Structure 1
Amino acid sequence: MSGATEAITKIRQKMGDRLAILGHHYQSDAVMQHADISGDSLELARKIATLDAEHIVFCGVYFMAESAAILRRGNQKIHIPDTTASCPMADMALAGHVNRALTLLSEGGRSIVPLTYVNSSAAVKAVVGRWNGSVCTSANAQKMMRWALDKGDAVLFLPDRHLGWNTAEALDIPENERLVLGKKLIDGDPEQALDRDAAASARVLLWPGFCPIHEEFTMSAINEIRKNTPEAMVVVHPECPPAVTAAADANGSTSFIIKYVAEAPQGATIHIGTEANLVHRLRAQYRGKKDIVPLKTSYCEDMGKTTEENLATLLESIETVEPVDVPDAIRQPSRAALETMLTVCA
């Protein structure tokens, strides 16, 4: 047992029910062994309201801790072992740019309902809440996009264009009713990025962001599998490019992927296109029963910033360290956006 493992174990025993450690599926095994609750973004968000713990430690990236801080009760404190663990995709959509884009897209009287992926900052979620929109995860994106389209003339889906496109595809929304907005939105120039004439005829407007990890999965890898091992199964995350998700046998959230592997027949070979920590964990779990192979080994550096060592360091000072929090001006509208999702998907 390492020194960090021993320190974490002792603190958990000492604090008992006052402490809850939540771990996202993309965390390393070394960290996940200490998690009281593991799951994807939706599963972990749902757990916040049910926890009695005074201190909740989120092993993931910063937007997840922010979401927990938005949903927490007054007596709860939210922590993250490394506050620099950001999300490159979330950083591709800034609150001021989103608000300006919504203003421009709404000119002429169209009702644009913003729907932000949970992989976004609290400030962006607040903008979405002020515009009467909501939040989604990869697990409930289809249900939430239907909700948004029923509510308004069009949905602005952000920040991940791939998840938005793949969700619209699953809902059979025609391609000529989808529009990926200009890349200059990421650089902060909505006026230059928006073709308002084209946007006026689209029902699904897609922010041009993407996940650098899932962008690495390509058609060449799938073509190689189909050529050499045609009996193998391929399942990918819907943050992958549309051509990749279309060529796979299935696509879905991390929880979907876990279930897909569990339900696959004994002896199956399954290639998985998502962050490598989850793939390696599944490979170990099913060793000798099913052959689990990464479509490509792709690690999220920001998820990797949480380690046993900095988790132990956090726990050793948890009574005095500054918790993650958001200002009330952001908390209220962002909480409304998150609670709409939890209500629609209850």
Structure 2
Amino acid sequence: MSPEMSALQEQILKLKEEKRAIILAHNYQRDEVQDIADFVGDSLELSRRASAIDCNMIVFCGVNFMAESASILSPEKTVLLPERAALCPMADMIHVDSPRPVRTSFPGFDNPPPYVFPPEYSLRDIKKKYPGVPVVAYVNTTADIKAESDICCTSANVVKVVESLPGDEVICIPDKNLSLWAQRNTKKRVIAWDGYCNIHERVTTHDVEAARAAYPNALLMAHPECRIEVLEKADHVTSTSGMLRFAKSSSAREFIVGTEIGLMHRMRKENPEKLFYPLRKDMICPNMKKTTLKSVIRAFQENTYLIKVPEHIRVPAKKALDRMLAIK
């Protein structure tokens, strides 16, 4: 580690103590940002952990919806997102009302940059088209979408959530690939939204074949945000947390990792005797990489960027999360 990096980390540790803060970092963050975090994990896991810790401030190194989830579960704490432009394109592919081709405001943000949406439909349009059909919102959604939904899900529990609901149909938003994966594993009809993660969506079966040829002894793990034809060729389909558990428990020594490459930093730290290869070398989320050590220092020093979900959105959004957490 360079002397400059060490000095930045030392400064962050001092500021964290002064502010009675904790630092959360998503599995896709830069290596050095993960290394200064108190906890590294997936978005919901981190928010739940932070809600149980006695602190004044949460600095969430991730993207916008993750900091919103922390605010939903910890309304009494100051929640900061170090980079205001760290948005999630997939989460922002769905909006509550229509038409709104350009999103100019996010719950909890002060003057965020605009983001362009597909203007054809809104969540309320879909609910009108399928009256009474429950809405399952992936946790990778903004707070206002969660508030408009019946229940949340993660990539790990989507099938269990779908199965828990009454009736023969569910609306699943916003990731079409996760919805198709759920459809493969349930007899219910899953009505999917046409959203996607541009990092996982780019993976093709050709990439799978190339990776298997390059690493013939490796097991392939794939995230459910990948296309269904890619998932069908994987040895194990699971969330980021599931990949970490699988890599640790498996007797295999080599793995192809079908998700954002930031996860491999933690995998290598936890399994130094094993080898991990990216399914594609360009599985890099530019929004996740916007946060740097300097971003974290600025967040502490300037109290930016404050995320506070308004109560009229926070309360129903929390109900959707709580309904999911109540499922055993």
TM over 0.5: yes
**One of 106, 117, 123 as aligned partner of 2:138:** 117
**One of 302, 305, 308 as aligned partner of 2:293:** 308
**One of 134, 137, 154 as aligned partner of 1:137:** 154
The 3-state SS of whatever aligns with 2:148 is: helix
Q: Cα–Cα, structure 1 residues 322 and 258, in superposed 2: closer, same or farther, change >3 Å?
A: closer
- The residue that corresponds to 2:10 in the other structure is 6
Distance in 1 of aligned mates of 2:153 and 2:62: 17
- The residue that corresponds to 1:165 in the other structure is 180
More helix by share: 1
Distance in 2 of aligned mates of 1:223 and 1:5: 41
Unaligned runs of 5+ in 2: 98-121
Give CA-to-partner distance per residue, 1:140-199, whole Å, 9 cap, x none. Answer: 212211123xx234110000010111122133x3xxx6xxxxxxxxxxxxxxxxxxxxxx
Distance in 2 of aligned mates of 1:248 and 1:26: 21
Contact 1:42–1:139 (Cα < 8 Å) also in 2:
no
Contact 2:175–2:197 (Cα < 8 Å) also in 1:
yes
- The residue that corresponds to 1:91 in the other structure is 92
The 3-state SS of whatever aligns with 1:112 is: coil
Q: What amino acid sits opposite 2:134 in the alignment?
A: V
Q: CA deviation at 1:325?
A: 0.9
Q: What amino acid sits opposite 2:67 in the alignment?
A: A
Contact 1:23–1:39 (Cα < 8 Å) also in 2:
yes
The 3-state SS of whatever aligns with 2:28 is: coil
Distance in 2 of aligned mates of 1:164 and 1:48: 29
Q: CA deviation at 1:282?
A: 2.2
Distance in 1 of aligned mates of 2:139 and 2:67: 11
Q: CA deviation at 1:280?
A: 4.0
- The residue that corresponds to 2:193 in the other structure is 207
Distance in 2 of aligned mates of 1:234 and 1:210: 21
- The residue that corresponds to 2:102 in the other structure is none
Q: CA deviation at 1:278?
A: 0.9
Q: CA deviation at 1:217?
A: 1.6
Contact 2:136–2:151 (Cα < 8 Å) also in 1:
yes
- The residue that corresponds to 1:31 in the other structure is 33
Q: Cα–Cα, structure 1 residues 207 and 322, in superposed 2: closer, same or farther, change >3 Å?
A: closer
The 3-state SS of whatever aligns with 1:33 is: helix
- The residue that corresponds to 2:130 in the other structure is 105
Contact 1:237–1:274 (Cα < 8 Å) also in 2:
yes
- The residue that corresponds to 2:220 in the other structure is 234
Aligned pair count reads: 299
Q: Cα–Cα, structure 1 residues 126 and 10, in superposed 2: closer, same or farther, change >3 Å?
A: same
- Residue identity over aligned pairs, in percent, reads 36
Distance in 1 of aligned mates of 2:266 and 2:39: 16
Q: Cα–Cα, structure 1 residues 145 and 10, in superposed 2: closer, same or farther, change >3 Å?
A: same
TM-score for the superposition, normalised by structure 2: 0.86
TM-score for the superposition, normalised by structure 1: 0.82
- The residue that corresponds to 1:271 in the other structure is 256
The 3-state SS of whatever aligns with 1:209 is: coil
Q: Over aligned residue pairs, what C-alpha RMSD do you find?
A: 1.8
Q: What amino acid sits opposite 1:13 in the alignment?
A: E
**Range that drifts further, 82-91 or 223-232:** 223-232
Q: What amino acid sits opposite 1:141 in the alignment?
A: V
- The residue that corresponds to 1:61 in the other structure is 63
Distance in 1 of aligned mates of 2:68 and 2:297: 21
